[in-house]
Amino acid sequence: MPQKVRVLVIDDSAYNRQTIAEILTTHPDIEVVGKASDGEEGLKATAALRPDLITLDLEMPRMDGFTFLRILMSKLPTPVIVISSHSKKQSVFQALELGALDFIAKPTRHISPELTTIRDELVQKVLLFRHLRIDALQDRPKPPERMSMQPEEKEKIPQPIATEMRFVAIGASTGGPPAIQMLLAQVPAEIPTAIVVCQHMPAKFTKAFAERLDKTAKLKIKEAEDGDPILAGHAYITPGGVNLLIARQDGRRVLKLQEMQTEDRYVPSIDKMFSSAAESFHNKCLGIVLTGMGTDGKVGAGRIRERGGYVVAESKESAVIYGMPKEVIEAGHADMVLPLPKIAELLVEYCTGRKNLMGR
């Protein structure tokens, strides 16, 4: 019988603390071992109770969630799931940069019975603790320094991607945002390559994610829009709640957004994005599968290889959740298995044209 996941709930609202605790204790494999009303109480409770995982509100009196995370990750690293409102998107990404594992969007910023609508997602993410690699969580890359490049400078760089230009498709889920931020921050601006990222993330958050990434990168990063031409020196973030495909329009490659289909298990779908990229770019496509739980990316990675492209899977050494990369590797679809820093090196070499990966 599996051991219960021991959870500490931190929220300044007594109603929220009680509701979150009740949600979690409905599952037989979860135990709420404590509650705290602010960061100071949370640090004391963490030291005394040593929970497996913490749920955290960011806006609290005395010590807010950001200060709590800074101290926690330096003194007693513990997995944290942030529970935040849709109106605080940038705060969520700041928390992820400070070491939070994942986040859940509240249906409302106010105290409300609607909080119970996050039940299934919250329970599912707490149970992910069993697949979490704590050492990889502790060793995740720190957020890069903000770039000084002005937006107008970035706009001068990219040109429409030519037929023989290169393409990179990146897929990630839990633990992915900091990894993606680190990878894209390494890539130079003047590259003959376009990049598309499919990160499992709720709708309304991906635009804020793209904007935050754009501030740390040399290349231009934006949330993809339907009909966007694929440009060299650009990276596109797949919007939450829809799938992204690559299509031909007026003789050029463009991005097309597809509404969720009844058969879709994951949305946005890494498999669909990878498969579409494989059909369009053939041996000029590099697929990268990063941290995450589940099987999304396995079918698409196989399609990339079938069409002559190349696939890299993140190794167990650095993946916070080894599920998705492991599925790709065990299916025989990975040409290389590398830790995140080595993937960054390979990405730069490929994007700049200094490395040819198609000699398999």
**221, 235 contact by CB (below 8 A):** yes
CA distance 328 to 205: 27
**CATH code for the domain of 289:** 3.40.50.180
**233, 265 contact by CB (below 8 A):** no
Q: Is residue 225 part of a domain?
A: yes
Q: Is residue 140 part of a domain?
A: no
CB atoms within 10 A of CB 277: 29
DSSP output for 199-219: E---TTTHHHHHHHHHTT-SS
What local confidence, expressed as pLDDT, does residue 162 receive?
A: 42
Q: 39 pLDDT band (50/70/90 cuts)?
A: very high
Q: Is residue 222 part of a domain?
A: yes
Q: Which of 211, 171, 218 lies closest to 193 in space, CA to CA? A: 218
Residues 192-217 have pLDDT tens digits of 999 999 999 988 899 999 999 999 89
CA distance 292 to 160: 32
**CATH code for the domain of 10:** 3.40.50.2300
Q: Which domain holds residue 105?
A: 5-132
- Identity (one letter) of the amino acid at 141? P
What local confidence, expressed as pLDDT, does residue 173 receive?
A: 97
Answer yes or no: do 96 and 196 share one domain.
no
CA distance 60 to 64: 5
Q: For every residue of 6-18, which 3-state class applies, written as one string?
A: EEEEECCCHHHHH
What's the predicted TM-score (pTM) here?
0.90
pLDDT at 31 over 60: yes
Residues 283-292 have pLDDT tens digits of 999 999 999 9
Taking the mean position of all CA atoms in its chain, how far away is CA 234? 18
Catalytic residues: 173, 200, 296
Residues 90-119 have pLDDT tens digits of 899 999 999 999 999 876 555 556 666 788
In degrees, rounded to 5, the angle at the alpha carbon of residue 72 between the alpha carbons of residues 202 and 8 is 65
Helices (H) and strands (E) in the chain, counts: 13, 14
Q: Is residue 146 part of a domain?
A: no
